[in-house]
Amino acid sequence: MNWHDHLPAFLVMIPLLGAFLTPFAASFGKTARNAFFMLFMALTLVVGMLLCTATFDGGVLVYVMGGENFSLTLPSGMSYPVRILFEIDAFGSLLIFCISFAAFAGALFSIQYMDRFSGWKRFMSLYFLMTTGALGMSATGDLFNFFVFVEISSIASFGLVAFWRDKPESLEASFKYMLISQVAAMLLLIAIGSLYGKYNALNMGALSSMLRSGTLERVSLALILSVLAFKCGAFPMHTWMPDAYAEAPSGVTCLLVTVSQASFYGLIRVCYTIFPAVTQGGTVGWILIALGCMSMFFGVMMAVVQHEIKRLMGYHSISQVGYMLLAMGVGLLALSDGNSNGTVAAYGLTAMKGGLFHVVNYSFYKGLLFLCAGALYYATGTRDLDKMGGLARSMPWTAGMFAVAAAAISGLPPFNGFVSKWMIYESSFAVHPLLPAVAMITSVLTLASFAKVFQAAFLGPSKAKLVAVREVPYGMLAGMAILTVMTLLLTLFPGWFMDNFFENAARALLDRQGYIRAVLGGM
Amino acid sequence: MTDTIVDTPSDFAGNAAYVLVAFLVIMALYSILTQKNLIKICIGIAVLGSSVNFFLVLLGYRQGGGIPVYYLAGAKKTMVLPTPQCLTLTAIVIALATTALMLSLVILIHKHYGTLNVDEIRRLRG
């Protein structure tokens, strides 16, 4: 028995414990409260990193909850697992990597950002719960458990979006998000229930090994796909996203970005691991590609006309999610070209690696952009770009980090955004030449839009109202600096990350038999 | 209880319950999509949650099944499935939490906007 074996349990246990210990810790005063918050966030980050190192060599970690033995997947001679279990492979730990980093950076940023507001206890508890939900989504091996974690992170995020409850806009954004999200969650539960009714299993590996193509499966897949595409903000279901992202406190938005990535993880896991019997035909691949192209194009078109900095970034999130959907759709098409035993055409593997690279890039630079927007709001008290100007002189650090993030999201070489986008262009060209064309137009418009933001906020003459503006406190800069450093590391060593992270994650995603075997034993 | 795939009941009584679930889901979606009053929309969400719970319980029902506790079931060897009941309990708690949160948001929205009509609550645009 080794404490290392219990890492998957610690992953959700630590933030969950943090959520409920918060009121207790807060009674010892402000310093104790902040120290407690950062300590538990740091512990979560450490556990996340340890899990990454344990799985990036291709291993699959399985942890059974509530059993007599944490590694016994099939108790008392059952042929299918009945207990809730966690199953973490390299693809899951990629998401855990993003979530734990973004959560830590957002927390560090929030300590001073939220200092002048009341309700800290509730903020911290909800922040912990949202982290728990997102980490659980990427760790669980059980469909119903996935639903529960989706709900944990959603309910916490409703509360956090409406955190400034004296502002009518944030209440409205939260209600809108909650309404659509609840309908979606119930549809997800119907789909999961139907699958259970037919196959008597909720475990992803077990379902994957049994699932055959049929009408019920197609309907379930359609429901799950539309729900998770909604949760990650794909085009026709995107309306909640700019509202919620703009109205939530910035540290929270940074985490919300990765929560939507956890939904994206669910979407990809469902398509690649559970439903290959249905996605084999290539239709689902084309659906993802179509969703991706629409999200990219319309997202950026709506972003270009915005004047409010966080709304603008919210619309850019839609178009960035489009890139990942496009990449994964191309991967799925390539998979249906090859045979079902995990061999895939070369362009498909490139697309998947590019898509996964983009997931990580997006989590870091988008989180950084939202934190920079939060810093601007903190310093100037406005989110309207027309009321800002010349801030580079008074806020040099924020300006510098914003420039890094903006260059990365616009895909300027040599930044990391360029590398992942290039892989997506290259591989989608093999499917249809129009796809990279749409992606490149989107990239150019993204660049135009961020050039506008940078020019409006940081360059030009100083506004008379903004002469008293000073750089934001060090705590906030530190939160932003973490994400800047990660973005720069991804920029400087894309090859190392590619070989050690994304290659393994893509292979883990393709290795469906390995995922099933980890639960069901030798099959 | 076996872990093989069990047929769902195929007689009329069994199917009628599924028809009721479908009716409830459609009714709930209809009210969410067409109603203008926030409270009525919340009722729609609550009905949707209940109908999904009903669906889950129904999935686990086996004709003439007893309670799924081995030493309390008596001579009966057919039992209803316990898993959907656990799922339902979890889903009920989640639905309760969201309904409570949603209604508290409605209260706050009413305080700020002075109305419950969705058409008048539109400050976020573009």
The HSE-up count of residue A23 (CA atoms within 13 Å, CB side) is 3
List Cβ neighbours of A456 (8 Å cut-off, separation of 6 or more): A385, A386, A388, A389
- Alpha carbon of A1 to those of A4, A5, A43, A277: distances in Å? 9, 7, 21, 38
**Domain spans of chain A?**
280-492
Written as one string, the DSSP assignment of A431-498 is T-THHHHHHHHHHHHHHHHHHHHHHHHHSSSPPGGGTT--PPPHHHHHHHHHHHHHHHHHHH-HHHHI
Mean pLDDT of A230-234: 88
List Cβ neighbours of A239 (8 Å cut-off, separation of 6 or more): A176, A180
Chain A residues within 8 A of B57 when measuring between CB atoms = none
For residues A189 and A197, the answer to whether their CB atoms sit within 8 Å is no
- Alpha carbon of A428 to those of A74, A285, A291, A353, A424: distances in Å? 41, 12, 14, 12, 6
Q: Using CA atoms, how far apart are residues A315 and A238, in angstroms rounded to an integer?
A: 9
Single out the residue of A516, A498, A492 nearest to residue A404, CA to CA: A492
Question: pLDDT for A180-202, tens place per residue?
Answer: 999 999 999 999 999 988 888 88
At position A192, the amino acid (one-letter code) is: I
Q: Is the predicted ipTM greater than 0.90, yes or no?
A: no
Interior/surface letters A206-245, b for 16+ CB within 10 angstroms, e for the rest: bbbbbbeeeeebeebbebbbbbbbbbbbbbebbebbbbbb
Chain A residues within 8 A of B122 when measuring between CB atoms = 172
Chain A residues within 8 A of B24 when measuring between CB atoms = none
The token pair at A250 is 């910035």
Give the gap in angstroms from C-alpha B11 to the nearest C-alpha of chain A. Answer: 16
The answer to whether the CB atoms of B83 and A82 lie below 8 A apart is yes
The answer to whether the CB atoms of A197 and B102 lie below 8 A apart is no
Q: Using CA atoms, how far apart are residues A186 and B51, in angstroms rounded to an integer?
A: 9
Res. A154: pLDDT tops 90: yes
Q: Suggest the residue from A76, A172, A384, A520 to mutate for an interface test with chain B (most B CBs closer than 10 A).
A: A172
Chain B residues within 8 A of A158 when measuring between CB atoms = 98, 101, 105
Q: Suggest the residue from B90, B102, B124 to mutate for an interface test with chain A (most A CBs closer than 10 A).
A: B124
Average pLDDT taken over every residue of chain A: 87
Q: Between A416-429 and A309-337, two packed helices, what is the crossing angle to 10 degrees? A: 40
Give the gap in angstroms from C-alpha A300 to the nearest C-alpha of chain B. Answer: 13
Question: pLDDT for A360-404, tens place per residue?
Answer: 999 999 999 999 999 999 888 888 888 888 888 888 899 999 999
How many other C-beta atoms can be found within 10 angstroms of the C-beta atom of residue A417? 29
The answer to whether the CB atoms of B108 and A162 lie below 8 A apart is yes
**Domain spans of chain B?**
12-120
Question: pLDDT for A467-507, tens place per residue?
Answer: 778 888 888 899 999 999 999 999 998 888 888 888 888 88
List per-block mean pLDDT (blocks of 10 residues) for chain B, which spans 126 residues: 46 76 92 91 93 88 74 69 86 91 92 84 68
At position A347, the amino acid (one-letter code) is: Y
- Measured in degrees and rounded to the nearest 5, phi and psi for residue A87 equal -135, 115
Provide the percentage of residues in chain A whose pLDDT is more than 70. 96
Nearest to A186 among B5, B52, B90 (CB): B52
Chain CA centroid to CA A516, Å: 25
Interior/surface letters A247-283, b for 16+ CB within 10 angstroms, e for the rest: bbbbbbbbbbbbbbbbbbbbbbbbbbbbbbbbbbeee
Written as one string, the DSSP assignment of A235-262 is GGG-THHHHHHHHS-HHHHHHHHHHHHH
Chain A residues within 8 A of B106 when measuring between CB atoms = 175
Q: Using CA atoms, how far apart are residues A281 and A291, in angstroms rounded to an integer?
A: 18
Helix/strand/coil (H/E/C) assignment for every residue in A386-407: HHCCCHHHHCHHHHHHHHHHHH
Residue A57: strand, helix, or coil? coil
Single out the residue of A293, A294, A318 nearest to residue A306, CA to CA: A318
Chain A residue set in contact with B, beta carbons under 8 Å: 78-80, 82, 144, 148, 151, 155, 158-159, 162, 165, 168-169, 171-176, 178-179, 182-183, 185-186, 189-190, 193, 196-200, 202, 243, 246-247, 305-306, 311
Classify residue B6 by its DSSP letter.
P
Question: pLDDT for A319-338, tens place per residue?
Answer: 999 999 999 999 888 887 65
CA quadruple A462, A465, A467, A472: dihedral, nearest 10 = -100
Residue of chain A with shortest Cα separation from B123: A169
Read off the pTM. 0.92
Nearest to A193 among B32, B49, B56 (CB): B56
Chain A residues within 8 A of B109 when measuring between CB atoms = 168, 171-172, 175
Nearest to A159 among B32, B45, B101 (CB): B101
Q: How confident is the model at residue A52 (pLDDT cuts 50, 70, 90)?
A: confident
pLDDT of amino acid A27? 87
Only one residue has tokens 């197609």, namely A218
- Alpha carbon of A404 to those of A285, A343, A370, A460: distances in Å? 33, 37, 13, 19
pLDDT of amino acid A77? 63
At position A17, the amino acid (one-letter code) is: L
Q: Count helices and strands (H / E) in chain B.
A: 3, 0
The answer to whether the CB atoms of A171 and B6 lie below 8 A apart is no
CATH 1.10.287.3510 fits B12-120, yes or no: yes
The answer to whether the CB atoms of A174 and B105 lie below 8 A apart is yes
Beta bridge partners of A62: A87
Residue of chain B with shortest Cα separation from A192: B56
Nearest to A197 among B8, B97, B108 (CB): B8
Single out the residue of A227, A11, A310 nearest to residue A131, CA to CA: A11
Question: pLDDT for A259-289, tens place per residue?
Answer: 999 999 999 999 988 888 887 778 888 999 9
Chain CA centroid to CA A219, Å: 26
Chain A residues within 8 A of B101 when measuring between CB atoms = 155, 158-159, 178
